[in-house]
Amino acid sequence: MADEENRTESILELNNIGFYAQGRELIRDFSHRYAAGKTTALVGPSGGGKSTVLKLSAGLLVPSKGAVLFKGRDIHLMNRKENLVFRQESAVVFQDSALWANQSLYQILELPLRIHFPSMSKNEREARIKAVAEEAGYRRELGIRPSNLSMGEQKLIAFARAMLCRPELLFLDEWTESLDESASQRLVRLVRERQDAKHTIIFVSHNVGIIKSLADTILMIRNGNIFLKLSREQIHSDAEIAEYLEKGMAS
Ligand SMILES: Nc1ncnc2c1ncn2[C@@H]1O[C@H](COP(=O)(O)OP(=O)(O)O)[C@@H](O)[C@H]1O
Ligand SMILES: [Mg+2]
């Protein structure tokens, strides 16, 4: 594993991260290099720290200790322009979808395009928004607000929003929860296309089938730390580990 990490260029690095909230140390001494163009699954028991690690990796939480480097630059020391580039090159699907309650789905999907492609015409924006929503499998109108959607539909819109700018770095937190099998398979296919395009994907899932089919690396996270790192070969070759995953580390 260490050899593999050294061979492959890393795009994002967590260096000795500590994260405290409300007097609790939620993440401790957390170090990992995400390899460029590879897919990493964060797995482990609920409350272990997966979502917190994902948000720290995406630069959405500021670590109490340590640094997060994107292409060698500390993301919390970037200037405004560098930060905008990092934001454009990364996108997050939150565990709770995190759609703005007081905006229509169309407005929610329009905002990233307005920010990152200010010269894009209204017609182009509309075409792109409709295309990503349809691609994600959302079939209803876009003029309605998130409260009118099921949890699953909210996930589809959150996914569509993350795909809008074709980010180089994609963070997905329990992104197929609340979806039926065919909707979830559709999103898995879209993630595969991103893998083929050599984008870097970091995802949280409890679905062993999805983890096994997509992950190049698995990080098992427990008590705010990495409990075990596994490569794709290990996941498939070691029956004991596979059983471990099936039995509960992933749930
Ligand atoms: N902002 C916060 N303040 C206090 N505790 C938090 C905060 N965010 C998460 N936690 C706690 O940190 C732990 C890890 O949470 P989380 O990263 O959401 O775990 P997971 O995604 O693995 O279920 C949990 O015990 C959770 O209650
Ligand atoms: Mg979580």
Nearest in space to 190 (alpha carbons), one of 57, 105, 91, 60 = 91
Pairing mode, strands 73-74 and 65-70: antiparallel
User: Which bound ligand lies closest to the C-alpha atom of 173?
Assistant: 2
Q: Is the CB of 63 under 6 A from ligand 1?
A: no
* Dihedral sign for Cα atoms in the order 170, 62, 42, 5: positive
What is the band of 233 on the pLDDT scale with cuts at 50, 70, 90? confident
Task: Spell out the residues 6+ positions from residue 223 whose beta carbon is closer than 8 angstroms to its own.
Answer: 48, 49
Task: Tell me the CATH number at 82.
Answer: 3.40.50.300
What is the band of 7 on the pLDDT scale with cuts at 50, 70, 90? low
Residue 15 domain-assigned (yes or no):
yes
Residue 152 domain-assigned (yes or no):
no
Residue 193 domain-assigned (yes or no):
no
User: Which bound ligand lies closest to the C-alpha atom of 24?
Assistant: 1
Q: Is the per-residue pLDDT at 192 higher than 70?
A: yes
d(CA 150, CA 230): 35
- The total of structural domains in the chain comes to 1
pTM over 0.85: yes
**Counting runs of H as helices and runs of E as strands, what totals does the chain give?**
10, 10
Query: Residue 200 has what pLDDT?
Result: 97
Residue 105 domain-assigned (yes or no):
no
| Mean pLDDT for all residues in the chain | 92
Q: Which of 14, 46, 52 to mutate to test the pocket of ligand 1 (most atoms within 8 A of CB)?
A: 52
Task: Spell out the residues 6+ positions from residue 245 whose beta carbon is closer than 8 angstroms to its own.
Answer: 43, 208, 211, 212, 218, 235
Residue 190 domain-assigned (yes or no):
no
Residue 143 domain-assigned (yes or no):
no
pLDDT, average across residues 169-186: 94
pLDDT tens profile 25-66: 999 999 999 999 999 999 999 999 999 999 999 999 999 999
Asked if residues 170 and 199 have their Cβ atoms less than 8 Å apart, the reply is yes
CA atoms within 13 A on the CB side of 77: 9
Residue 207 domain-assigned (yes or no):
yes
Q: Domain span at residue 24?
A: 1-89+171-177+202-251
Residue 58 domain-assigned (yes or no):
yes
Query: Residue 1 has what pLDDT?
Result: 47
